[in-house]
Structures are given as structure tokens and as C-alpha cells.
Amino acid sequence: MLFKLSLKNVKKSFKDYAVYFATLTVGVAVFYVFNAVETQAVMLNVMQKSGDFTKMLSGMLSGVSILVSLILGFLVVYASRFLMKRRKKEFGTYLLLGLGKWKVSMILFWETLLIGGCSLAVGLLTGVVLSQFMSLFVANLFAADMTVFKFLFSRTACEKTIIHFVIIYLVMLLFQTFEIGRCRLVTFFHAKGKSEEIKMRNPWVCILVFVIAAGMLAYAYYQVTGNVENLHSAKAIFSLIIMGIVSTFLLFWSISGFAFKLVSIFEKYYYKGLHAFMFRQLASKINTTVCIMSVISLMLFLTICVLSCSLSVKNSMDSMREHLTPVDIIIHKRISLEDGESEEIMTDALGMGGFSYNEYTKEQLEGLPLSIKETYGAMEIDLSRYFTREENFYVYSIPGMTIGDLFEKMGEDMTESEVWFYMNKVLRLVKVSDYNRLMALSGKKGVKLSADEYMVMANLPDMVKAWNLFLQADIPLTVSGNTLYPAGNACREGFLVMAANYTEHGFIVVPDEAVSEMNPVYEYLAANYNGKSKEEKREIEKIVTLQDVYEYPESYSTWVSLNTKIDVTDAGMGIGGIITFLGLYLGIVFLLSSAVVLALKELSEYADNIERYQILRRLGTDEKIINRTLLGQIGIFFGTPLILALVHSVFGIRFLLYQLRTFGREGLLSSVLETIAVFLIIYGGYFALTYACSKNIIKDKRAS
């Protein structure tokens, strides 16, 4: 009997609980989709290419999924509160007819089992379908081979989803049983009769608090934008976060105190249509919505920032990848000591990985003068067989001179600056003819220098800024008795080794004559593979990167370093893919959470205030006007936290992009557009669903 009654209740009330059902279904689908990725055929192919990154992604997904399940669990319990509040009068009737609280709890158990089972089934089915589209997204993230794509069902993800959601449903059942057990009969029948008392706060106090909160926000906004370069400590950043949270709460508290009074001043607008009724309804929720609005606004802010910045990083890295990897391989090798350097206590002054000579054998030191090709030749590898085009170039240094020594001539103390780390790096010099040959091989434009000029090349944002200040000071550089002057007041973008993002801290291009009598410290060899397909190039890479060589003299391997386009591309896609994937996962969950809480809060209010809409109809109010008022009230409720979140996001995104500046910001516009699309689908969808369900609640009541 109880099961039949539960089934009948579910059928009868299904329209009212559309938001609840949608939340469960979407939660299940999202959980399955993101946990099924690692078992997709495309992803398995990716893991073979960039195993470290995808294993890291898999591990992080497991940890994030626990957080997500906690958030979804909160949403389910919060949604069940709406159902309990909506049906307390019904439960009271059951008790009045002689059913015990245990039997009422059993009715809820069967209803939860039916709704939960349906949502789990529909959610898993939806997730299986969407996971195939996620494979396409993953393929784009990691540049996977789509020829291996095939339809797959992830048993692991399915089991994980079922386990997590069964636990969530059990927690919800315990909560519902506890709620029924602690309520008295009179509580059930008066649950809807309680109306929120309108307590008007002192408007002058609210205005004062508003000004203080706005001032706090203005200060925080300035710190994360105009003064961001001076924010070095985590403590300072954390204090600004706390300030933003507190000021957000104070803003909502103060606005809720004087907004109603402010609107009522404009009598023509206030008394037009049902505006007075609408704003009185909004004012009645003052005491219960301040905390909710504050939390939701902050969650929406996090969602916008996480989605925009993660997508921006991915788009920027995609854009930079081709730009920063113009050739297939760059090999570099130390070929001499600097004048005056000790063979026993010499560290790698060029920053290519610190080491001390006294840690190596005499044979290893004897291998130092060998060129790159001689080193490979000793291992019986003829590089010319594998390269179509190649260029050698050399790096020189002024004995004992660091970048910091050069900046001291400017009179600036760089020890406390953001670039202090690079001040101890040795000043590197490259001949203009060598650099131009590298640019020609890379398909880029070369540079021109007069006999008395030098040019700085860099792309690391902080160092670019520092070099520009240095060049504007017009400080001469002396190289082997030749005095050189800056060729311009700004450095040029350039690099010596390939990377997935901006990492070049700077080197100086000088006329050939300036270093003609100096010995080069490093030799570089840039080249393109003679393979045409990706598979052929990967086979060549295995040979020239010594992946298949296990035994060879240490004197040859010690000094050779290299980076390749394939490695840099895989690494870049791995980092960008992880950031984007997790950002999308968390962003969607945060957005879903915010929309669900707002929707359920609104539906709960309309369920409590049905009688007021009945009175409006009895007074002859047109249904279109009621619906328009309903739409306006829901729009204000959904729009208010979003507006403040958008304002926060303008400054938050700028701060995050500054912190992620080495990844670039070329893809910001497209990432913002993608974020807007996600918002329209989820947030806009819940707004429309809330409006439809609210109309259904008040119409069904009238019909009865």
C-alpha cells in the first residue's frame, strides 16, 4: 500500500519537482561524463603520448570528484528541504489519519527510491551520450588521433557514479527521517502559514554600511589591478579575499535594507501594475536571502573566473605553441669554460641546470670541447641523416658579468623586484648573423644592427618590462673593448630554446665583430626532421634524443641538452588540458549549485505564497500581468547576485591573468564567449525552468 501511495504521489507531483529531478539528473550526468574520460579510446591514445600528464589528470579527477560529490550531496539535501516544506501539510494529513511517523518515512523512502532511480537511470543514459562528445573535446585539448574514436561505456565511471549517489540518497533519507521525527502535528499544518516578517532596517545605517562596503571593494579592486605588482605574499592576497567576502555580504545586507525604501520613493513606477506587490514580496525575503545571495554571488564569481581563465590558458597555449616551437629540435651543449673559471668549483652560469665540475670525472671534462655532431658521432649517430635543414649558432658571455651587474649601471636595486631571481644569470651574447640564420630557419624575420648597437631579446613578461626600463636608460655595453648602445628603447621578442609558454629571461644580440675574439661557451644546433608524417618524426626523435641508447660514454651524454617540438607540444597540451578540464568540471558544478539553490529558494517562496496570488486573481488581475510580475521577481532574484559577480569577475580575471601571464592572454575573448555560452545553457536554463515551475505551482493551486 505504501509503495502504491508513493508511486501515485510521484506521478501527481512530478511537475512541481521538475527542478529537483533535473538537478539529480544533471548531477549524475556531469559526474559520469568527467569520470568516464580516462576510459575513452581517444584518452587512452593520449595517455600513451603524454602519460605523466594524463595520469596526473586521472589522479586529480579522483580527488576533485570527492569534492564534487560533497557539493552535489548538499544540493540534493537542500532540494529535499524544499520538498519537505512543500508537503508538510500532506504529511500532517497522513498522521491525522493514523499513519505513524515511521510509515510516513517509508512513503518518503519509496518516493526517494523512485525519483532517485529514475534520475540515476536518465542521468547515466545522458552521461553516456554526452561522454562521447566529451571525447571530441578531449581530442581537441590533447590533439589526439580521432581515428581511434569509438563508442564506449565506462563501467568504472558507472560504478563510481552509482556508489556516490547511493550514499547521497542515503544521507538524504536520514535527513528526511530526522525532519519528520522531530516535527509535531501542529507544525505540519502551520508550516505554510508562517510568513516572513518584514523588518525594515534603519536606512541611514544601511547607506553608511553600503559606503563602507563599496570602499572596501574599491580598495581590493585597486590592489589586485593597479597595485598587483606589489602583491608578493600569500598573506596579502588572502587578506584581500577575506575583504572581498566580507564586503560582498555587507553590500547585500545594506542594499536589502534601503532598496525597498528607495524604490517606493518613485511613486509612478512603484504603483504601476503589480510593482508594489512584487517589491513587497522581495522585501519579505530580506531576512533569509542576504547570506544566500552573498554565497551565490561569490560562487558565480568563482565560476566565471575559473571558466574564463582556464579556457583562456588553453586557447593562449594553443596559440603560443606554434609560435614558440618553430623547428623540430634544438640541441645545446657546453663547449668551453669561461676565462678564469675553476674546473673544480664551476656551476653552470648560463642556467641550463646547475652542476659542479668536481662531481664529474676527468674523462667527462675531456669531452667538453667536443661539438654536438662529434658527440653524436662518438655514439655512432650521424645527425645529418635525420635532418633536412640545420643551423649551428653559438652563445658567448662576458667573464664574470651577470644580468644584475648590467642593471646596476642603471642605478636600480633589483634585489626586491619580481625579477631578482634572474639577476644572477650570466649575460648571454649571440652574434647577429647566427641569430638571423636561426630566424631564417624558423621562418621569422631577422634583425639589423649597426656596428655600435646591441639588441635585447626576451619574452618572459616580467623581464620584458625590466629590460624595457633598462633600454630606456640608454646604458652602453662594453664587449671586448667595443662600446655598444641600445638599438631601441624596447626589447624584441625572442628565444633560444623552445617552450610551451613564455620563459626566455633575455639575451643580447651583438654585431659579429664584437665577439670575434671571444670563445663561445655554448653551441646550439637547430634543425627540422626529414620525416613527413607524425609517426616518422616520432621515430626520428627516439634516435636523436637517445631514447633507445642505454650505454654510451658519460663524457658524451653529460653535456648534451635538448628540447623538441613534440615534447614541448605534448607538455603544453598536458598542462593546458589539465587546467581546462578541471576548470570546466569545477566551473559547471559551481554554476549548477548556484542555479539550483536560487531555483529551489524561489520555488519554496511561491509554494508558501500561493494564497496571495489567489487573492490577486479574485481581485480580477489579468493572468498576463501576474506572469509578468512573476518573471520580474525571478529575474531580480537571479540577476542581483549575477550582476555583482560580473563586477567582481572583471577585476578577478585581470588578477588571475596577471598571475598566469607566462601563458599569455591571446585567447581571452573566445574564452569569455565560451563562458557566456555555458552560463546561458545552465544558469539561463534554470531561470526558465524556475519560471515555468512557479507558474505551474500557482496555476495548479487555483485549479484545485
Q: What integer pLDDT is reported at residue 343 of this predicted model?
A: 46
What is the average per-residue pLDDT within 253-269?
71
Give me the DSSP letters along 338-383.
Answer: PTT--SSS---TTSSS---GGGS-HHHHHTTT--HHHHHHHTT--G
Residues 195 and 288: their CA atoms lie apart, in Å, by 12
* pTM check: above 0.85: no
More confident residue, 43 or 11: 11
Question: CB-hemisphere CA count at 13 Å for 291?
Answer: 2
Give a three-class secondary structure readout of 548-584: CCCCCCHHHHCCEEEEEHHHHHHHHHHHHHHHHHHHH
pLDDT tens figures, 130-166: 777 766 666 665 555 544 445 567 778 888 888 888 8
Give a three-class secondary structure readout of 231-299: CCCHHHHHHHHHHHHHHHHHHHHHHHHHHHHHHHHCHHHHCCCCHHHHHHHHHCCHHHHHHHHHHHHHH
Residues 424 and 349: their CA atoms lie apart, in Å, by 8
pLDDT at 558 over 80: no
pLDDT tens figures, 498-508: 887 788 999 99
pLDDT at 260 over 80: no
CA-wise closest residue to 662 among 462, 420, 418: 462
pLDDT tens figures, 266-324: 667 666 767 677 776 666 665 567 777 888 888 889 888 888 877 777 777 667 777 78
pLDDT tens figures, 618-676: 877 788 888 888 888 888 888 888 999 999 988 988 888 777 766 666 666 777 788 88
